[in-house]
Amino acid sequence: MRALTVERYGDKAGVRIGEVPDPQVRADDVLVRVHAASINPLDRMIRDGEMKTILPYKVPFVLGNDLAGVVIEVGSAVTRFAVGDEVFARPDKDRIGTFAELIAVQQDDVALKPASLTMEEAASLPLVGLTSWQALVERAHIQPGQRVLIHAGSGGLGSIAIQLAKQLGAHVATTASTANIDLVKHLGADVVVDYKKQAFETVLHDYDVVLDSLGGQTLQKSLEVLKPGGKVISVAGPPDAALGRELGANPVIRLAMSALSFRIRRAARRRNVTYSFLFMKASGDQLRELTSLVEAGKIHPVVDTVFPFESAREALEYLEAGHAKAGKVVVKMT
């Protein structure tokens, strides 16, 4: 089969389209013919080797973390799916590789594709949808009336997180550029801070939760908008020891992760708030929850651009260069 593979870390030229063996199908796997796959910042980080400590993929490997497609084979122990089912998924972290014609995915990580979405729209949803769910529902336990700041509201994660937070009954603030203010308001944002004109930390205060996808100074300043007892949950900040425990890392790695996040955790404690790093986990059950919201018209993916598979490298560079105006960049495989 054809696939986009990483031949060597840390080099754009080390990514190429070529022939690789078809995936092996385990007893509890479904084999999916991929129709579309979306690009995430995580793909660039994996390509550049920034995640090797916690995701030590051995080169060459197939890149990609989101997919939508059709089941063409089921393992002997599969009970949830049949040949011909249209599905979408974020494969487990140890079994990535969605920029390919075929992928085998464990059935528990797969869900039926929302019927109202195109393949391209469905492929844009799993990683950012699961991240939003696990941040806002599982970790933050958002309650009606709480105040939530979601950074980069027009981005792939932000555009879904705003919609989910509103469905949970939250008062939602977000940051966006002037060009995207109308979009994020349409998605449900109650307060929009134009980051080109205002510093969000001088405008917002007494928030319960911040979902950070930018890291750096944005993460540091996010502590200032929280009320005592508030939480900042980051997908871009330094990892913490809790992540090491989740991944089953050895004590040395866990200690290193704790050291990386020491400064931000200390700064958070001084303000009587908490910091945690979120690394999203695959979950077919949570995708089914999101499907219910999609089918009810409560959440709709935002797609920026669709590239053909032959231009997958260019699609990755397009996202990396910051050309995407809003939502996700998708690769059409068929």
Q: What angle do CA 111, 117, 118 make, to 5 degrees?
A: 105
C-alpha span between 215 and 317 (Å, rounded): 21
Q: Is the pLDDT confidence value at 244 over 90?
A: no
Mean pLDDT score across all residues of the chain: 96
| Mean local confidence (pLDDT), 210-237 | 97
pLDDT in tens, 118-144: 999 999 999 999 999 999 999 999 999
Q: Is the pLDDT of residue 241 over 90?
A: no
The structural domains of the chain, ordered by start, are 2-125+301-332 (3.90.180.10), 127-277 (3.40.50.720)
State whether residue 217 is helix, strand or coil.
Answer: helix
Q: Token pair for residue 138?
A: 């599982």
The contacts of residue 198 (CB under 8 Å, 6+ apart) are none
- Cα-to-chain-centroid distance, residue 252: 27
Four-point Cα dihedral 18, 59, 312, 47, nearest 10: -170
Q: Quick one: tokens of 300?
A: 């709709």
So what's the pLDDT on residue 174?
98
**Cα–Cα distance for residue pair 132/135, rounded to 1 Å:** 5
Q: Which residue in 43, 101, 106 sits closest to 80, CA to CA?
A: 106
Helix/strand/coil for 231: strand
pLDDT in tens, 79-92: 999 999 999 999 99
Q: CB under 8 Å to 174, separation ≥6 — which residues?
A: 149, 150, 151, 152, 153, 158, 162, 184, 189, 191, 192, 193
Query: Taking the model in full, what pTM does it have?
Result: 0.97
The answer to whether the CB of 278 falls within 8 A of the CB of 134 is yes
State in Å, rounded, how far the first CA of the chain is from the last one: 12
- 17 dihedral zone (left: phi>0; alpha: psi -120 to 50; beta): beta
